[in-house]
Amino acid sequence: MKLKLEELSAGFHGKKIIKDISFSVDSGELLVLAGPNGGGKTTLLKTIAGIVKPLSGRVLLDGRDCAALKLRERARRISMLFQNSAPRWAFTVRETVEQGRFSRRPFLDTGNRGEDPAVKEAIRIAALEGYEERLVTELSGGEYQRILIARSIAQGAEILLMDEPVNNLDPKYQIMALELVQELCRRGKSAVMSLHDLRLARRYAGRICLIDRGSIAALGDAEEVLQGETLRRIFEVDTDWAF
């Protein structure tokens, strides 16, 4: 499975936020998007997910234009974890993870969802066994983030898109969440995530794509991309703090 972006531009009201972005992501790869606030990382993720329509260019999955995919098919292949997600409703952990299965069930399915093996496996992989009947509104932010990742696992998507998945988490839960994503990539998933913390990006990314003012400023492995001069040019600060 390969995700490929070809000269992708997108924005709002005709104004480009991202401009002529091209890269590909192979099965098993974790690509981190980094760069200054407002640079276009979130818009890029939403465009890949189909939430924002491209102004030009294409998003391809195995050579097929994602614009041609029906919504349910897209949901089976691409999942999106939004930034700063917080529980709004008092669902149980099991019910929340089960929501990832909507695209794979018949409309208005009323079957015994608690027996879905994909849900059980997602809960196991995310180390949430024993939490199934707890309410998500009673859990910590780090625990809830693992539940959302479990929901993405249950969705069965090949591509995991994540916008700042460890934002506002303490170091323990940051490491747990990123090691979980890394493990999913080892199992053949592909992940594209935005991260502010360059130390975490350096530790976990297969490749890093620096986005600056809507365009790719650098793309490659950590040692290629996270160089002092490049970072000083993009972030306009002394970069000793980064490492």
pLDDT of 83 reads: 79
Greater pLDDT, 83 or 110: 83
The Cα-based distances of 219 to 18, 23, 212, 215 in angstroms read: 15, 9, 12, 11
The type of residue at 144 is: Y
Structure tokens belonging to residue 31: 């690509």
Average pLDDT for 116-120: 88
Non-local (6+) Cβ contacts of 48 within 8 A are 3, 5, 59, 66, 78, 159, 161, 192
Contact 62, 33 (CB under 8 A): no
Bridge partners for 135 per DSSP: 92
All residues at 6 or more sequence positions from 102 whose CB lies less than 8 Å from its CB, including other chains: 75
- pTM exceeds 0.85 for this model: yes
Q: What is the pLDDT of residue 233?
A: 84
Which of 37, 8, 9, 32 minimizes the C-alpha distance to 22?
8
Of 207, 204, 196, give the one whose Cα is nearest residue 180.
204
Task: Indicate the burial class of 238 (C-beta count within 10 angstroms; 0-12, 13-18, 19 or more).
Answer: exposed
pLDDT in tens, 139-152: 888 888 889 889 98
CATH class label, 2-89+158-242: alpha beta
CA–CA separation, 158 and 135 (whole Å)? 28
**Rounded to an integer, what distance in angstroms lies between the CA atom of residue 196 and that of residue 57?**
27
Residue 114: its pLDDT value, please?
57
Task: Return d(Cα 59, Cα 66) in angstroms, integer.
Answer: 6
Strand partners, 80: 161
With 0-12 / 13-18 / 19 or more C-beta atoms within 10 angstroms meaning exposed / middle / buried, residue 145 is: buried
> 163 with 82: CB under 8 angstroms?
yes
Q: Over the stretch 208-222, which tens digit does the pLDDT of each residue have?
A: 999 999 999 999 998
**Is 60 exceeded by the pLDDT of residue 108?**
no
Q: Report whether pLDDT(198) > 80.
A: yes
Separation CA 202–CA 184 (nearest Å): 18
Cα 225 from Cα 235, distance rounded (Å): 13
Judge whether 176 and 200 are in contact, CB under 8 Å.
no
